[in-house]
Amino acid sequence: MGWFGSGGLRRAKRQRTDRVRMVTHPAFYLAQAGVAGFEAPETLDVDGTVEHFAAVGQAAGARVSALFQPDCYLSRAQEAGLEVTGDPFEHWLEVGWDHRVVPTPLFDEQWYAAADTGARAGEWGFEHFLREGCYRKGRDAGPFAPNYGDNEAMRARERHDPVLMTGMLNHAERYDLRRTSWLEEGVAKGRERLDSLDDPRVVALVAKAAAIEPEIMDEGPGRWVAWLPHLHPNVVTATAAEDVRRSLPVDRADAVVYFPDDGPHDDALRVVEELRSAGATTVVAVTTGPRSRPPEGIVTADLRPRLTRLDRRQRLRVALDVLRGLAPAHAVAVDNVLGTRVLARHGRALRTEMTVAGRLEGRALDLDAMVEVQRVRDEQ
């Protein structure tokens, strides 16, 4: 049924209004102000952005949605046999939407449909993503989505602030956001790399390698390519840990002490002195909390800059990689939540490499019990 079918112009106008509001992303629109030849207030809510776009931004060629890329839509509309005249965005709202044309390289319909996203049977996956999925971390829109950006923002759905906004606005000064962005360029290049895996020459090379090492053909959780900004999460954490280790003046440590997330260092400094008295010549302090202060006079591995924009699992992995890279004989967490989690989560394995201990609010932690709780959870 066409745009001007049953229901007439009034229904068509209401439907267009609903669609524009659904796809509007204020932060992305405002990032184009000034650069794109139009002025706008520093802040706008969703309805204010819709009004400002209609009055000013649309005529300047601005994009009101981070999930509509004009060039992508023109290409895919042509593939769908649609002739686009006038403004591509208006054409998509009035025609392309009903033909289910996805106007962004950031969304993969097959990938999204295969995931447990909560979309109803028969519902257009991209519309579900626009309405709900784009605001939820873990609702992956494609093979590159795990690295789209930050965790969910507070009141993300209410403010129309998608998880991928961090990537869309990264290095915004380098791109004409009316046409493309850092994230969209990265996805396009990553897609080229991913598609190249199906090249007959590559397939033949993989087959030869598999004849030597059959595990190469084992099915993994997904297909990945190492092309910035889209890296396998383990590469992200390993790189962060390696950067921390390279910043240190030592390659190895006799002991590692996780310093308090907040407050005084007295207990941690006493632990350092105890370790030194016991023969630990090289002691490395690890700081992880946003308000923790690196101690003076002690080699410090400051993880704070490397932990921003990482989720809880990734932060744990970075802290563990740094610890194991330093190969200490002793590891102690003093009023440090992340350090305590590392020792509890990986305590059984770490105890084959080093002694581990923890203190919280001046009291020794029962790491044996914590490790046992974690073991039971792992087996469930």
Asked if 299 and 284 count as a contact pair (C-beta separation under 8 A), the reply is yes
Helix ranges (H only) for 247-290 are: 266-277
* Interior angle at CA 236, CA 234 and CA 242, nearest 5: 100
CA dihedral of 97, 100, 103, 107, whole degrees rounded to 10: 130
| CA gap 72, 104 in Å, rounded | 6
User: What are the structural domain ranges in the chain?
Assistant: 8-187, 233-379
Asked if 196 and 203 count as a contact pair (C-beta separation under 8 A), the reply is no
Query: Bigger pLDDT: 226 or 19?
Result: 19
pTM of the entire predicted model? 0.57
Nearest 5°: phi and psi at 71? Answer: -65, -40
Query: Bigger pLDDT: 361 or 168?
Result: 168
pLDDT tens-digit series, residues 15-35: 999 999 999 999 999 999 987
Asked if 290 and 321 count as a contact pair (C-beta separation under 8 A), the reply is no
CA dist 152 → 105, 131, 134 (Å): 21, 15, 9
| CA gap 225, 187 in Å, rounded | 11
Q: Which CATH architecture has domain 233-379?
A: 3-Layer(aba) Sandwich (3.40)
Residue 23 has a pLDDT of 97
For the cut 70, the answer to whether the pLDDT of residue 238 exceeds it is yes
Residues 6+ apart with CB under 8 A from 57: 29, 32, 33, 36, 38, 40, 64
SS3 at position 23: helix
Query: Bigger pLDDT: 223 or 215?
Result: 215
SS3 at position 357: strand
Instruction: Kindly state the tokens that stand for 290.
Output: 């946003």
| CA gap 351, 373 in Å, rounded | 16
83 strand-pairing partners: none
pLDDT tens-digit series, residues 43-74: 999 999 999 999 999 999 999 999 999 999 99
SS3 at position 359: strand
pLDDT tens-digit series, residues 277-328: 999 999 999 998 777 777 888 999 999 888 876 788 889 999 999 999 999 9
